[in-house]
Structure 1
Amino acid sequence: MSLALYLSMSSFALAASISPGPVNIVALSTGLRHGFRASMGHVTGATVGFTALLLLSGLGLAELLLRWPGASRLIGAAGVAFLIYLAWNLWRDDGRISDGKAPRPPSALSGAAQQWLNPKAWLAAIAGMGAFGMGGGPLRIWLFAALYFVICYASIAAWACAGARLRHFLDDAGRMRAFNRAMAALVALSAVYLAFEG
């Protein structure tokens, strides 16, 4: 494989992984509420969950979904419902992060499940494998997934790190509540867009 192909794969992976989305918003919020180290379970689970979705897309899941459009609609509806649930929880959060009563950070399993309910992840996996994996044989599928794993992990971790850095500025319930509600509005807008686009 050529260097140009690796650069194209990397650029796609970075653009899809670093851009705002539900999983990255959870990483940011987890970094804010619990700190960087405690966010790494979510980061790891989300990365492993996405990489599994990416590999399955390259190994035939995308073709299966094309044959059964009802399954695609069901996945889309579940993704929109997940986004609405996430937005609601962010909106109603009271903003307190220093009283010792904060819930536990999301687990690795939760991070992986969020990717499977994330419409952005499905689009990135199917589009990425369609562009770079399928047609190049199993070796290219596995190499693309390995490259994507590294870039995805670093991208989600960067969101968690940004949250941990912002913690000092938002260690006030009112500011944190305003921040959470801004994030909730973005997630809700994503849900509305996906509901009407689909």
Structure 2
Amino acid sequence: MSAFAVAASVSPGPVNLLVLSTAIHVGWRGAMPLVMGASAGFTLLLWLIGIGMVELWQQWPLLRHLVRLGGVAFLIWLAWRLARSDGELDMDRVAEPAGACTGAFMQWINPKAWLASVAGMGAFAADGDPALVTVFAVLWGSLCALSISLWALAGGQLNGWVSSPHRMQCINRGLAGLLVLSAGLVLLG
């Protein structure tokens, strides 16, 4: 159960890429609200799926379609913002980094989070026992927070290396490309 949770949480995805980019700009401490929000949002989503929301997901294909389109639109918007960045890491400039609400929202429109939740609950808590679902959700949520924190730590470490605006532009455009690729894969999936 733990290995599955770590593998699903630490693998690259839209939330992890946003955490990496945020931490590059504001350091790992500045990215922690985003990490905590994403972890809390995912944990709630996982728990609700475990106690029966998956039936709603399966019975209403329009909901699946709307989540997918909303997720794609949000990924494209994030990619556009990254690609347009001038690469300047002006720490004196007042910029609002992505925070807890953004992290939680991203998990709810992130098809990777939905698919991992359905697969995880199906594999480890299929009977819907509320105690087991809660234990699994808390365990996975904790591992999710640790895994996403690694992306924040990596971004914080890159902060000093990307002092050149050109390097930062290259990283931003690379991350933007990965987000567009993620959006394309979501549309195909």
TM-score of Structure 1 vs Structure 2, range by shorter chain: over 0.9
Cα deviation per residue 1:3-29 (whole Å; 9 max; x = unaligned)?
A: xxxxxx111111110001111111111
Give the SS at the match of 1:167: helix
1:134 CA drift (Å): 2.2
* Matched residue, 2:57: 65
More off after superposition, 158-167 vs 84-93: 84-93
1:65 CA drift (Å): 1.2
Give the SS at the match of 2:41: helix
TM-score by length of 1: 0.92
> Given the alignment, which residue of 6, 9, 16 partners 2:8?
16
Would you say the 8 A contact 1:39–1:105 is kept in 2? Answer: yes
Cα deviation per residue 1:100-154 (whole Å; 9 max; x = unaligned)?
A: 2252221211111111121111111111111112215111101110110111000
> Given the alignment, which residue of 73, 78, 81 partners 2:73?
81
TM-score by length of 2: 0.96
- Map 1:60-139 to 2 at 5 A: 60-101=52-93, 103-135=95-127, 137-139=129-131
Structure 2 residue runs without a partner (length 5+):
none
Between the aligned partners of 1:72 and 1:54, the Cα distance in structure 2 is 16
1:80 CA drift (Å): 1.2
Q: List structure 1 segments (4+ residues) > 4 angstroms apart after TM superposition.
A: none
Is 1:55 matched up with 2:47? yes
Would you say the 8 A contact 1:30–1:106 is kept in 2? Answer: yes
Q: Percent identity?
A: 47
Is 1:42 matched up with 2:34? yes
Structure 1 residue runs without a partner (length 5+):
1-8
Question: How many residues matched?
Answer: 189
Between the aligned partners of 1:174 and 1:158, the Cα distance in structure 2 is 25
Between the aligned partners of 1:103 and 1:134, the Cα distance in structure 2 is 44
Q: Which amino acid aligns with 2:108?
A: W
* Matched residue, 1:189: 181
Is 1:32 matched up with 2:32? no
Give the SS at the match of 2:160: coil
Q: Which amino acid aligns with 1:98?
A: D
> Given the alignment, which residue of 130, 137, 152 partners 2:144?
152
